[in-house]
Structure 1
Amino acid sequence: MGERPMMTGAEWLAGSLAASGQSHVFFVDAVLRPTLLALSRLGVKPVLAHTEKAAVYMADAYGRVSGRPGVVAAQSVGAANLAAGLQDAWLARSPVIALTGRKPHAAQHRNAYQEVAHAPLFQAVTKFSAEVAEAAHLPRLLRQAWAAAVSVPVRPVHLDLHGLMAEVVEQGRVAEPPADLSALVAPRFRGAPDPDAVAAAVAALGAARRIVIVAGDGAMLSGCGAEVLGLAEALEAPVLTTLGARALVPTAHPRVAGVVGSYSAPPANKVLEQAGLVLLVGCDTGDQMTHGWRLPRPGVPIIQVDADPLEFDRSLPATVALLGDPRAVLVELLDQLGRQARDDAFAREAAALVAEWRASVAPRLSSDATPIDPARLCAEISAALPADGILVADTGYSGIWTGTLIDLTTQGYQRAAGSLGWAFPAALGAKCAAPDRPVLCWSGDGAFHYHLAELETAKRLGIAVVCVVNNNQGFGQGWPNLRRAAGNDPAAAAELLRFGDHADFAAIARGFGLRGIVVERPEDIAPALRDALAAKETVVIDVRTDIEARAPEPYTPTE
């Protein structure tokens, strides 16, 4: 038998990414140049971004939408910026593989140009990080990193490739064929629950009244929307979701009471406060979901379903813990529960609370006020976004507006887990992962300023998304509080949180060769959205809104 043919590390890496189904990789020069050239020849599109954080945000959304890891790369000096961008992917439990160059061992601890220690930078934002000192190690470590990225808890991983631009690994030799990792998608394993735990949960659910189902990001990853609704019907239970699981189930479904926690409309927290038993499905118990750990009420029994054993009893005691893939667990619960006659009074109470709140906010959804009430903008997006559309929302007020007032019918919602400016680059990454689906980005003006340069990326590569800028000339979420703190001195408050009136985002888009539309009247929103969604290029819609308009505020239980 002859020896296996050798190939370079660059050829092996490019061949493996192509064989594994990657359509795009994201990077900032100068890194992996031979690999990127090889990828282009294999039909994988390299996406050159203008900042490492923007490149990571693209890879992050690509991973969330596709289920395969988003791949992002930067040279050694860009490692710190790249690591900073991974925070959102870590918080959102998104599969990302970060590749960085680093100078080899002989250059370490010798004041090498542009070199700092990489391991501490990535420690807090990756679940696996390893050095790749030579090409022969690349097959083993890429496979390990990929598997780690898509296994629960899904999170970013990092490979530090020797060479400033990873050239040591690229130029080395690999003695095995490229790897096909396409079968490894998130979530990699769908474990079944323990039968005794299922029986205990069925008994508790059968005896309980006023059950509330709270579905979180783990449920979204599992894709168990149909099972959640099936269980809601069987138990006559209202459904709440976290912001990240906003589109797990149709948001206007009669069983759905909205996003719960700190970024919610009032009915959701009221429903959770009245629960006699809470069923958590792939839902962590952090401060946002629990509204500062004030919900649910102390002592309420909790049945918790999660694929990650570390989520049990983290903040709230689990009366019954069901370890397994949420969809697999809910299938078992539905099978054993069957359909029983149950009192639907609580479900009707919850639906009445939602209906009452929707009626109260309805005038704002049709408001003709100028500057425009963002609630009207939400209503127009609900009407315009196609059923297969993907809505990408930034953090803060963007998450609250979109999570409470835009209705969605499919699993088409991606939101920043906390990083301001995430949404626009992420929208480009989402479009790369789903080229046939319309993608609409909601960004505030404060967030959009972060990554304006990626308009050039959208133009150069022909990536078509609709970017709606909620332009209120400032950071709107904290505006009233700061004004009060300033002794109701608007000028003093404005110095800290308001921008000038000179930013014309439509003109900026046109400066990059793209389309830009300014909307100052509510009646012009619908035609602008219609035209932008029909375009074959990125379109920026600069909507002039009222900074005094308040997004829905959560109900807070009294102590």
Structure 2
Amino acid sequence: MKELVSRQLVKYLEDRGVEHIFGLCGHTNIAVLTELEKSSIKFINVRHEQVASHAADGYARAKKKTSVVLSHVGPGLTNAATGVANAALDSIPMVVIAGDIPSHYYGKHPHQEINLHADASQVEIYRPFVKRAWRVDRPDLLPEIMEKAFQLAESGNPGPVLVSVPMDIFSKEIDTALFEKQKHHTKALQKPSIDDETAEKIINTLLDAKNPLIYAGGGILLADAAQELTEFVNHFDLPVAHSLMGKGAVADDNPLVLGMTGFWGTKFINDKCKEADYIFALGTRFAEADSSSWEEECTFNFPLTKLIQIDIDPNEIGRNYPVEIGAVADLKQALTVLNRAAKRIAPKGRQNEALKAEIAKNKQEFKDSNKEFIADNCFPMQPQRILAEVREVLPRDAFITTDVGWNKNGVGQQFDIYEPGTILTPGGFATMGFGAPAALGVKVAQPDRVVVSLVGDGGFGQNPALLATAAEENIPVIWVIMNNFAFGTIAGLQKAHYGTTLGTLFMKDGEPYSPDFAAIARAYGVEGIKIEKAEEFKPALEKAIASNKPVVIDAAMLNNPVPTAGHWNIMDIYSPDKKVHHVSTN
């Protein structure tokens, strides 16, 4: 029996358990949209493809399953590219299905064809950052390609893939047996682990070490291995430092958690990493900001410190530092073996009350250093007060998305996360514009959880049309705009090193300027609240949570830099032989 490719594709996605697709229409994909109208799959319609790809990114992180984006040819696909690249650099599984020009018009330059170097070559745009890009040249090949696409997106180091489909193929008929055949293929591959011998070697090395330390990366969360890591850490009372993407892998109120390393880490945390004789790194690539530009005097001191590293991707083992013991494995599987071996080798574990007391003392001192900012009633508000009051109001299991700037760096440094996977931030690509649309995807994935997006005015201004989707679909996200009337982090850099702020501060007639984001929200049909004094913020947030509606809270904020104790080599590029970081532009 034969059926339309578009119809069979939608049935295939239903059978895979796809519940939502994010995207935007175009003349190349409306055959698929037509079939979705009859489907159990919910299509989340957006006004810009970057919103779709960021929302799908957030959805995949919160749902812990592969997300799907439906895109149009040419400009539709390029609009989505930034969000897909962001997902790629953070290892988020995503299948992008894009319409393309009719196959019988390759090279004739039909409407919106990309063909400057090869005919119908829009797949080439994605090739540098997706795990694989397919162009479907025959309709009978699509079933196998779709199966391969999902498997590749989900296996090994996960990430996005692209399936580019000429629009005429969607409208052709093929034998239903071709898609039926794919039902016989497994939908989940068995993941690699480590053997008992390797586990015992790692544990004995840590037991013999004088100052061992765990370094947790985002790979722990991708592998859903937070529970296993916490069990291992607590058994041996091992201190835990983490990358930005590893925040929440072990709850911030665990007495063994040091905090985030690197440029925005504190001196205490960075010093603890330097003093370690062995570091056991799990699911991290030792990114530049987390590692203080890999300069040994700042955060990590390899090879004086010895490194044990486990990652699902062999390319990450020893990428930036030499490794004494390296293993390629799924972290959940590996930690299961390690915990079993740990109980056998050291059934009573180890206790280190002195270490926990030292960590607690340092945490309290850091919190005390922020007390005056948190209590400050000034307006525009202190950023520390915004973060403290958000944390105070939110449930323990609420989801937070961040963007870039204070809302990312400050959250990583001083905002406690209690449940693994509840902080979503753009790590590898550090994409401005991620946080606000990603929150849409999180709320669609987790409708019963509170979702708050902490985002700057620069980031929110990237794609305010996401509010149309929030209104149409009634997606009750709360956007807290930490509004410093600037691209604040860059303004502080430019002011510190070059004495100017050209292009970084938003000004009109010599005065700070900002759109009225609360009014913009109301224009889209979303509740908008403009904070006029610091005392209004906390009650406004409590009201927004209770309303269970989409709400924008526009809170003017001082543009003071996030405190820094680590190092970032860009400072040396700007100002050689000087100790200059950021400065306040207020």
- What range describes the TM-score normalised by the shorter chain of this pair? over 0.9
* Displacement of 1:268: 2.4
The alignment-based identity, stated in percent, is: 25
Separation of aligned partners in 1, 2:568 and 2:461: 36
Aligned mate of 1:422, from 431, 434, 439? 434
Shifted more, 223-232 versus 116-125: the winner is 223-232
* Displacement of 1:341: 4.2
Separation of aligned partners in 1, 2:31 and 2:503: 49
1:371 maps to a residue whose letter is P
Task: After TM superposition, list the pairs within 5 Å mapping 1:237-248 onto structure 2.
Answer: 237-248=238-249
For the pair 1:310 / 2:315, whether they are aligned, the reply is yes
Task: After TM superposition, list the pairs within 5 Å mapping 1:268-417 onto structure 2.
Answer: 268-294=269-295, 295-299=299-303, 300-337=305-342, 338=346, 339-341=348-350, 344-411=353-420, 412-417=422-427
Q: What does residue 212 of structure 2 align with?
A: 211
Separation of aligned partners in 2, 1:371 and 1:436: 33
1:531 maps to a residue whose letter is K
Separation of aligned partners in 1, 2:34 and 2:269: 51
For the pair 1:469 / 2:499, whether they are aligned, the reply is no
Q: What does residue 6 of structure 1 align with?
A: 2
Give the SS at the match of 1:469. strand
Separation of aligned partners in 2, 1:184 and 1:465: 32
Separation of aligned partners in 2, 1:209 and 1:131: 55
Separation of aligned partners in 2, 1:293 and 1:238: 21
Q: 1:550 to 1:181 in 2, by over 3 A?
A: farther
Asked whether the equivalents of residues 12 and 174 of structure 1 are also in contact (C-alpha less than 8 Å), the reply is no
2:213 maps to a residue whose letter is V
Q: 1:341 to 1:536 in 2, by over 3 A?
A: closer
Deviations 1:465-503 (A, max 9, x none): 00000011001112233223443xxxx525543344241
Aligned mate of 1:18, from 14, 18, 21? 14
Aligned mate of 1:142, from 142, 146, 159? 146
* Displacement of 1:556: 4.3
Task: After TM superposition, list the pairs within 5 Å mapping 1:452-463 onto structure 2.
Answer: 452-463=464-475
Q: How many residues align?
A: 545
Asked whether the equivalents of residues 20 and 180 of structure 1 are also in contact (C-alpha less than 8 Å), the reply is no
* Displacement of 1:536: 3.0
Task: After TM superposition, list the pairs within 5 Å mapping 1:66-145 onto structure 2.
Answer: 66-77=63-74, 78-116=76-114, 117-145=121-149
2:506 maps to a residue whose letter is R
* Displacement of 1:345: 4.0
Asked whether the equivalents of residues 143 and 181 of structure 1 are also in contact (C-alpha less than 8 Å), the reply is no
1:482 maps to a residue whose letter is Q
1:552 maps to a residue whose letter is P
Task: After TM superposition, list the pairs within 5 Å mapping 1:424-503 onto structure 2.
Answer: 424-487=436-499, 492-493=500-501, 495-499=503-507, 500-503=512-515
Shifted more, 287-296 versus 120-129: the winner is 287-296
Q: 1:371 to 1:331 in 2, by over 3 A?
A: same
* Displacement of 1:509: 0.3
Give the SS at the match of 1:212. strand
Separation of aligned partners in 1, 2:395 and 2:335: 29
Asked whether the equivalents of residues 476 and 548 of structure 2 are also in contact (C-alpha less than 8 Å), the reply is yes
1:324 maps to a residue whose letter is A
Give the SS at the match of 2:249. coil
Two-structure CA RMSD over aligned residues (Å): 2.3
Separation of aligned partners in 1, 2:431 and 2:7: 35
Q: What does residue 255 of structure 2 align with?
A: 254
Asked whether the equivalents of residues 267 and 357 of structure 1 are also in contact (C-alpha less than 8 Å), the reply is no
Q: 1:69 to 1:206 in 2, by over 3 A?
A: same
2:328 maps to a residue whose letter is L
Asked whether the equivalents of residues 19 and 182 of structure 1 are also in contact (C-alpha less than 8 Å), the reply is no
For the pair 1:35 / 2:32, whether they are aligned, the reply is yes
Separation of aligned partners in 1, 2:340 and 2:255: 23
Deviations 1:169-211 (A, max 9, x none): 34332423566699847xx543220333222212211100211
Give the SS at the match of 1:240. strand
Q: 1:512 to 1:280 in 2, by over 3 A?
A: same
Asked whether the equivalents of residues 136 and 175 of structure 1 are also in contact (C-alpha less than 8 Å), the reply is no
